[in-house]
Amino acid sequence: MSDERIKHVRLYPELALFHSNADRKAAMRKFQRSMWKTRRFWLLMLFSTLGFLAFNLTLVSLRGFAPIPPAMIGGLAGGINGALIGFSFQFVFRAPLRRHLREELLKQNIPVCLKCGYDLRGQTEPRCPECGEAFNSKLLTSTES
């Protein structure tokens, strides 16, 4: 791994396991190109948008009926909209990207657990010590020192 600072390593710890910055960038570009082509991405974007609209329209309509102070409605809207944005980000981008990065690491013979992302280099048994997921024992022999 180069000494160059890796961006987003806290959000995507798998990035630190790639051998070079070029490998990281190639894996990210490949994911970005494939993401736009998946039905899952567009469905999640559609339902996220509809969720925001439904929630905000409900709050606007409640304003006229419920004796709730406007500041309280604003705080509630901000909090719930923030949570909706966070969940949307997790399911639309972060989880699929982390899975993609793990698959790319495996293609480069860097052993990681596909389920949890644990670095499997140095393991003696074909089972992830972090999550208990079994993996192919060939990964143990193909590791690079």
Full residue range of the structural domain in which residue 1 is found: 1-108
Q: What is the pLDDT of residues 28-50, one digit of tens each?
A: 999 989 888 888 888 888 887 88
Regarding whether 98 and 38 lie in a shared domain, the answer is: yes
pTM: 0.70
Regarding whether 20 and 1 lie in a shared domain, the answer is: yes
Regarding whether 52 and 119 lie in a shared domain, the answer is: no
Show the tokens assigned to 89.
């980000």
pLDDT computed for residue 101 by the predictor: 94
Regarding whether 49 and 33 lie in a shared domain, the answer is: yes
Q: What is the pLDDT of residues 85-126, one digit of tens each?
A: 888 788 878 888 999 999 999 999 889 998 998 998 888 888
Q: How confident is the model at residue 26 (pLDDT cuts 50, 70, 90)?
A: very high
Question: How many domains does the chain divide into?
Answer: 2
- Give the Cα separation of 41 and 26 in Å (integer): 20
Regarding whether 36 and 13 lie in a shared domain, the answer is: yes
**Residue whose entry in the numeric block shows the structure tokens 């495996």:** 106
Q: What is the pLDDT of residues 71-80, one digit of tens each?
A: 777 777 788 8
Regarding whether 66 and 82 lie in a shared domain, the answer is: yes
Regarding whether 68 and 18 lie in a shared domain, the answer is: yes
